[in-house]
Every structure is written in structure tokens, then in C-alpha cells.
Amino acid sequence: MEANEIAALTSEQSMPLEGIKRKMKFSGVVKKINIAGAIVDVGLAVPGVVHISQLQEGETKRVEDVVQVGQEVEVWVRRVDPKKQRLELTMIKPLDLEWRDISKGMVVKGKVTRLEKFGVFVDIGAERPGLVHISEMTHGYIKSPSDLVKEGDEIEAQVLEVNRRKKQIKLSMKALEAPPEPPPPPPSKAVPAEQEAPQEAPSPSSAPEGEPTAMEIALREAMERSNVKFEGLVGVRKKKKRATDQQFEQLFDRTLQNRRK
């Protein structure tokens, strides 16, 4: 659009361009259209220019197919140059987040636009929606994303990764949740007082002086029982031997007597 056309439509209002920022929204009136675009008066010191490519999303063949002179439109600031007194506008709503605005770790809000088995897509105002994988939706287990959210839900998430080349944004909902506390340890079984420490058998040295210990008493009783059995056995053998000797003498005497006869 020619500079003289813009100058001819300059508003008498004196609001400067120094305070105007990108993405600021204005309501204006279309003052002129031509093959290149439209001039819109938004109440500033100079009118803004809307290029034909910024009239709507997609291809525009003719400006008059989209806007007419005198029509009220909503526009956003696309570029501003206070020194050159130039203001470029767009009728396409700008993105809330451009790629250069998105960084790892930042917290964003958005609307769930699509559910898949592997996760959900969230519109965060960027060129592409962000993806929350099912493993990043919550600390606990869920079988399906629909167990937690549905389409249209507003959610808050943290940016895990952003790939400008592939235009991918990975988000996490559980990153903003407190991690679950670990389960308490299992209760220990109570041990009775008498079983806490096994009682040790008294050692031989623990007996009072002058008194036999339990080991000595047991040893003595074993020896006494052994002596009794041994003496009894010897007595029986001696009796058997005496009986045998007497029988032998009687047999010897009878043999001599028989020979004498």
C-alpha cells in the first residue's frame, strides 16, 4: 500500500506508537482496500495496514471477498515501528505462545483437544498442540487417559521438551503434583520379654566354691553306675567259675573211684 494513501487517512488523534506492543488487540474500521490489502483505522496516530495474507487463515484471492470499506474488524498488532510511524496489523489471531516463547520447565495452561490410547493432546496456544503421554498424566496407574480427563477439560502442565525443528512439545501433568509418600514399613512382631535374650546355661565356674558343679555331679553319678554294673558282672562270673570248678572236682573223683573198682 502506498505511503501517501496511509498519510491521507492518518487520524488527527495524537496517540503515539511508542507504547504499542506486538499482539495487542484493537477494534477498527476499514478505511480503504486495494489489491494488496486494507487500511484500518484503530484510533492511533497512524492507521494500520493489513496485508492480504493476514486477512484470514488460508489463501485469499481478493480482498473484497473478506472485508469491505466501512466494516468494523478486530485486529492485532503484528509489527510496529515508531520511528518510521509504521503499523502492521493482522486479522488472524496470533498465537499465545510462539516457538521462541516456549522453553523447558515452563508451566502452561491449555485445553484437552484429543484423547488417544497413549496420551492426550493439549492446545496451549502454540502452533502445535502439546502431548501429555499417559505415563506423565499422574503418579498412579491409569488404564486409559479417559480415566483422568476428557475433551474440553482445562489442564495445567509443565514443558518437558520442545523441539522447534520437528514442532513437537512434550508436556507433563504429574510434574506439578507432589510425589506420593512411600508406604510405611510393615509392623514388627512383638517379642516377649522372656524370649528377648536366651538364657545361658551356668558355666562350671559359676558354682560356689566347695560345692560340686552340675557337670561334676552328672559325671560322678555316671561313674558310680558303671562301677555297680562292673562289680555285679564280676561277681556273677566268679560264682559261675566256682560252680564249674566244683563240678570238675566231683567228676574227677568219680573217675578215680571207678578205676579202683
**pLDDT of 167-218, one tens digit each?**
999 999 999 998 888 888 888 766 665 555 555 555 554 555 556 666 667 6
Can you tell me the distance from the alpha carbon of 125 to that of 113, in angstroms, rounded to the nearest whole number?
12
Render pLDDT for 150-164 as a digit per residue (tens, 0 to 9): 999 999 999 999 999
Q: What angle do CA 1, 95, 10 make, to 5 degrees?
A: 30
Report the alpha-carbon distance of residue 158 to residue 170 in Å, rounded: 9
66 CB neighbour count, 10 Å cutoff = 19
- Residue 94 neighbours by CB distance under 10 Å: 15
Residue 210 has a pLDDT of: 57
CA–CA separation, 52 and 64 (whole Å)? 10
One-letter amino acid at 122 equals V
Q: What is the pLDDT of residue 6?
A: 46
pLDDT of residue 121: 98
Q: What is the mean pLDDT of the chain?
A: 81
Phi/psi of residue 148, each to 5°? -120, -40
The model carries a pTM of: 0.55
pLDDT of residue 13 exceeding 50: no
Instruction: Take residue 218 and report the three cell numbers written for it.
Output: 552328672
C-beta neighbour count of 15 within 10 angstroms: 13
pLDDT at 48 over 90: yes
